[in-house]
Structure 1
Amino acid sequence: MVVGGGPAGMAGGARAAEAGLRVVLLDAAQDLGGQYYRQPGAALSPTRPEALHHDWDAYTALRGRAGGVERRGRHHVWAVERHGDEDWTVHALAGADGAQGRPVRIRARAVLLATGAYERQLPFRGWTLPGVVGAGGAQAMLKGGLVLPGRRVVVAGSGPLLLAAASSLVTAGAEVPAVIEASGYLGYARHPRALAANPHKLTEAVTHGAALLRHRVALRTRSAVTEVHGDGRVEAVTVTRLDARWRPVAGTEREIACDALAVGHGLVPAIDLAITLGCATRRTPDGTLALALDARLETSVRGVWAAGEPGGVGGAQLAMIEGELAALSIAARLGADPGRGGRVRRLRARRTRLRAFAEAMAATHAPGPGWSDWLPDATEVCRCEEVTAGRIREAVRDHGARDARTVKLFTRAGMGWCQGRTCGEAVSCLAGDDEPPAPRRPFATPVPLGALAASAPEALAGADEEPIRP
């Protein structure tokens, strides 16, 4: 069973099928590709979907290899249940709207988690105005819907995704007056070996940079959008210089007119399913939690492997390599043909190089501890429950809260629809919890009570479960 249809899941599923295993791949989207290779629906009649993608040839080759994989789109996996080292039940809801989908249970001998990542958002004044979208969200709108978030879009936050998003937007016809990077790029110079081992990464940066130069996009480093202005919709943003700790420097504010803001401060590995199973985690250089994996890409729970972003955000190329490595390990464990050992050694060497660059990237763009200084008390931090920074600070100052969980008990921050995925890091920072524990959510997606009732032990007795065997 492969959970996730992005580059890691596609590569892992294809390699496992080539090794002789029966593979079922579940993904919430209808088509393969994940967020990286998101494509517009057939109803939009796209003529050149490859125009908005980098390295499209790698995707088409991988899609061709995945012909032996049983693909099931619009399957929202909400839990994985363990019965033994080679006996698992994967619970999903099948349907376009996961919360209203049909309950599905599939038995498998091994599980490969290729669940990707989601955007990290750090709040600021006005970030709830219509027209503020995630940097990755802007790309998703463009790739999946062929629409722009606005005509004049400021791109802000931190991380290499900003350059890719800005490049895509200007290529599609948007005006991007500026890219606002809270960190800088000189930090990469502290990792010369990782840079030397990955020259293609420099080529990618030059490609995006050239597109921005052609369209006269200004690049401002050590700066952040600290406020959004508008009456019912984004009309302008305030950009402020930051010091080395990401604290705003007084007197450096300047306003940029725009009708949309695409903002994101990196990506967070999506590890909810693995955490529920008890898989061990590690802290990455940018402060996020990723799964601790061995050389075979197996988690600390025997029988569960992971590939791509769950092991630490590193991009599509690393995800594909890890997907193949995990599949070869699974094939060897289940007695299938894993192929030649030389291929494994080559894949591991490439993984080591790309993983070193991923760690350097995370360290370079890690949020500074002073970012919360740009948050006035009236700023909403938890959008779902409308909890402000002032209420969180009050919980810490007056009631002794010292972590996100205690703040949640006092304020309801993190108890909404997203279950803290959007606000969790900001709440932890305001609570002074430098290394919050892994969030344990019993369900990876919202689940109707009827689906839970159908999954109860008494309901499962004699149920028609579908086994997957090699």
Structure 2
Amino acid sequence: MPTSPSDAPRPGGPGYDLAVIGAGPAGLAAAVTAADLGLRCALLDAGARTGGQFYRHPAPGLGAARPERLHHAWSAYTGLADRLAAHREAGRVDLLGNHQVWALERAGDTAWAVHATLGPGADDRATVRAGAVLLATGAYERQLPFPGWTLPGVVTAGGAQAMLKSGLVLPGRRIVVAGSGPLLLAAASSLVTAGAEVPAVVEATNYLGYARRPHVLAGVPAKLAEGLVHGTAFLRHRVRLRRRAAVVEAHGTDRVTGVTIARLDARWRPVPGTEKRIECDALAVGHGLLPQIELATEAGAETVAGPDGAVALKVDAGLRTTVPGLWAAGETCGVGGADLAIAEGELAAHAVAGATARGSVLRRRARLRAFADLMAAAHRPGPGWTGWLRPDTDVCRCEEVPAAAITEAVEELGAGDARTVKLLTRAGMGWCQGRMCGPAVACLSGMSGEPRADSRPLSCPVPLAQLAAGAAGPAGDGA
């Protein structure tokens, strides 16, 4: 299994055939498959280790003896990691950890310059050159605000899993899990297995959307088996699943001490008189995932709206984006899980190499993508969720912009879109650049579905000293 990439070979010479951005399931599968096909690859990731968010490792100093107990399908990761180790040893893949890519730049008709920051120092940057780029940057969680969501002890569902996987700690002892989407089941199952008490999993949908296409479910028996595993864990630990309900307020002063849940109607509006309080010391909440595609949209790639309204990259059958020389795989093409990401990473690598992928990979990808679309449609947020908000509820956490300010921008100042609301209120101008508040601001601005992906010259914060230092860096081969 690969260790920290601090001893990885530094890029040099004429560059690479392929730069893969993101070392999660899709990126790992793409890099090792491309190397199998004879391409020389650079695999870049903001983290120090491979695996991405899905295969997140415990910190080395914790001495975790059995990290596989924190994951599903750990053997899939170890198989990819072993192949990567062999390709690194042979010099076919350079693993570049701690490389946070902030921009892609065309370097002629047949080459790319990939710019990354390695840290806060003026010299801590790199420019990696490659003939093609494959984006496997994953996704981030969709949050819908409610009163009390900024209290300490309120974390995202994925954040609760990250705390457990990387730090071997729990966000609390009695944890309510709420929101919508299959991540809730996985998070709750992991938490109770690790010793937490989960009094309720509060799911905004009723799961009936899955019944609309039974043939799609029949094509993914592994997903049904995974759901059975979670259900068994819930029965064993007496976890109650509350469907068609939501957390509409979190209570507490210095920390969350309880939540109020309410039944929802078909449009996700709270039903008066159905409120119920649940005592807890932590809340893990999330409403699915949104593709992380900023690098591609700034390069000019076209997007499409998925069944849940989330914006993903438009790709063809070979995972090519609309920008020549730029491919994508996994969650950037629409959220669908690790199995789909691995299949798409392999398929995209074949397309980059000009090779024909195995028919089994094409069929697996088709089945899993169909399930991903079904899943997205089943958990699409309803427009009535704004009924959870009060005028003083912060929608943008970074800039502390309340719902009333956004309403004022629309109704009194004439803002007709999320960008104008942003300019008038600063919602989305903070550290997260709208990742947390973007869907909420778009909905309150009167837009249908999710906001279109913003185009930004930089996809992440970069020290100004690095921008002034020129394109060459310690891991680059010149401007």
TM range (shorter): over 0.9
Match of 1:401 in 2: 415
Amino acid at match of 2:78: T
2:71 to 50, 53, 56: 53
| C-alpha distance in structure 1 between counterparts of 2:334 and 2:189, whole Å | 24
Match of 1:446 in 2: 461
| C-alpha distance in structure 2 between counterparts of 1:42 and 1:428, whole Å | 41
Deviation at 1:101, TM superposition (A): 7.2
1:305 to 327, 332, 335: 327
| C-alpha distance in structure 1 between counterparts of 2:39 and 2:27, whole Å | 15
Q: CA deviation digits over 1:170-201, x for unaligned, max 9?
A: 00000000000001211100121211111211
SS in 2 for 1:261: strand
Contact 1:126–1:228 under 8 Å retained in 2: yes
| C-alpha distance in structure 2 between counterparts of 1:136 and 1:405, whole Å | 28
Match of 2:195 in 1: 173
1:210 to 232, 236, 250: 232
| C-alpha distance in structure 1 between counterparts of 2:198 and 2:404, whole Å | 33
SS in 1 for 2:365: helix
Contact 1:99–1:446 under 8 Å retained in 2: no
Deviation at 1:437, TM superposition (A): 2.5
Match of 1:11 in 2: 29
Amino acid at match of 1:31: R
Moved more, 129-138 or 77-86: 77-86
| C-alpha distance in structure 1 between counterparts of 2:148 and 2:66, whole Å | 36
Deviation at 1:448, TM superposition (A): 1.1
| C-alpha distance in structure 2 between counterparts of 1:100 and 1:16, whole Å | 33
1:353 to 351, 367, 378: 367
SS in 2 for 1:110: strand
SS in 1 for 2:113: strand
2:95 aligned with 1:84, yes or no? Answer: no
Deviation at 1:344, TM superposition (A): 2.8
2:473 aligned with 1:466, yes or no? Answer: no
Equivalences for residues 292-371 of structure 1 within 5 A = 292-332=314-354, 338=355, 341=356, 343-371=357-385
SS in 2 for 1:237: strand
| C-alpha distance in structure 1 between counterparts of 2:123 and 2:230, whole Å | 40
| C-alpha distance in structure 1 between counterparts of 2:52 and 2:440, whole Å | 27
Amino acid at match of 1:50: E
2:139 aligned with 1:117, yes or no? Answer: yes
Contact 1:103–1:451 under 8 Å retained in 2: yes
Structure 2: runs of 5 or more not aligned: 1-18, 88-92
Deviation at 1:373, TM superposition (A): 1.0
Equivalences for residues 137-148 of structure 1 within 5 A = 137-148=159-170
Match of 1:159 in 2: 181
Moved more, 244-253 or 101-110: 101-110
Aligned length: 453
Deviation at 1:75, TM superposition (A): 0.8
Deviation at 1:446, TM superposition (A): 0.2
Residues 155 and 325 (structure 1 numbering): CA distance in 2 closer, same or farther, change over 3 Å?
A: same
Residues 365 and 464 (structure 1 numbering): CA distance in 2 closer, same or farther, change over 3 Å?
A: closer
**Which structure 1 residue ranges, 4+ long, deviate > 3 Å from structure 2?**
98-101, 462-465
**TM-score normalised by L of structure 1:** 0.94
Deviation at 1:454, TM superposition (A): 2.3
Residues 383 and 100 (structure 1 numbering): CA distance in 2 closer, same or farther, change over 3 Å?
A: farther
Match of 2:390 in 1: 376
Amino acid at match of 1:403: D
Contact 1:85–1:303 under 8 Å retained in 2: no
Deviation at 1:277, TM superposition (A): 0.4
| C-alpha distance in structure 2 between counterparts of 1:236 and 1:197, whole Å | 40
Deviation at 1:466, TM superposition (A): 2.4
Amino acid at match of 2:358: V
Contact 2:307–2:377 under 8 Å retained in 1: yes
| C-alpha distance in structure 2 between counterparts of 1:424 and 1:441, whole Å | 14
2:221 aligned with 1:199, yes or no? Answer: yes
Amino acid at match of 2:477: E
Q: CA deviation digits over 1:331-377, x for unaligned, max 9?
A: 11xxxxx3xx4x43221111111000000000000000110011010
| C-alpha distance in structure 2 between counterparts of 1:298 and 1:101, whole Å | 34
SS in 1 for 2:256: coil
Match of 1:26 in 2: 44
Contact 1:5–1:33 under 8 Å retained in 2: yes
